[in-house]
Amino acid sequence: MKHTILSLLAVALLGVGASAQTQKIGFVNSAKIFQELPAAQDVQKRIDAMTKPLQDSLALMQDQYKALVEDYQRKEALMNDATKKSEQQKIIALEQRFNDFRLQKFGTDGDVAKQTEKLLSPLRENIRTAIGVVAKQERYNFVFDKTDQIQILIYGDPAHDLTFKVIDRLKRGK
């Protein structure tokens, strides 16, 4: 799918380039922008503060589960069938609570994901706006993102790297 999008983009750029003046293309490293931006660091601290108690609760539940399983394994030989079944159901119930809690808090639609999106969304929009302003000021027709995780831009001449101009703009608050 990436190759299809890139192919379509290349065809579009060639078509536009052939019929218009020379196109100016730049790039930014959005990960670097997030790393350098004090507002992003504050948001990360808030996310960490929200996540820590939930991770602690999850770790406690996991320890309880392990202790219950180990206790069951030690005593299993001495248990009658009814007691075994009862203890197994306790283990299954605790495992289910653990999994439910983990999904509710850390799943893709969990509390942490929702809160993270709520905190990051305005920041992302602010960064997009700053990129747009810098691109217009510098007369760039297209701006790509180049991060270590996303390799859409394979090579970019450092002279066209707008990352630090965007960071500067965001830090100055203009």
- pLDDT tens column, 39-97: 999 999 999 999 999 999 999 999 999 999 999 999 999 999 999 999 999 999 999 99
Does residue 1 form part of some domain? Answer: no
Does residue 2 form part of some domain? Answer: no
Does residue 14 form part of some domain? Answer: no
Does residue 15 form part of some domain? Answer: no
Does residue 65 form part of some domain? Answer: yes
Does residue 9 form part of some domain? Answer: no
* H/E run at residue 111: helix 111-137
Q: What is the pLDDT of residue 84?
A: 93
Mean pLDDT, residues 31-43 taken together: 91
Instruction: For residue range 136-165, list pLDDT tens digits in order.
Output: 998 888 888 888 777 676 567 788 888 888
Please state, in angstroms and as integers, the Cα–Cα distance from residue 30 to each residue in 5, 62, 137, 139, 162, following that order.
20, 36, 19, 20, 10
Does residue 3 form part of some domain? Answer: no
Return the biggest CA–CA distance within the chain. Answer: 85
Whole-angstrom Cα distance, residue 91 to residue 62?
Answer: 11
Total structural domains within the chain: 1
Does residue 150 form part of some domain? Answer: yes
Q: What is the pLDDT of residue 3?
A: 47
CATH number at residue 88: 3.30.910.20
* Phi, psi (deg, nearest 5) at residue 159: -65, -20
The boundaries of the domain holding residue 158 are 21-172
- Three-state SS for 117-173 is HHHHHHHHHHHHHHHHHHHHHCCCCEEEECCCCCCCCCCCCHHHECHHHHHHHHHHC
Q: Is the pTM of this model over 0.75?
A: no
Q: What is the pLDDT of residue 174?
A: 61
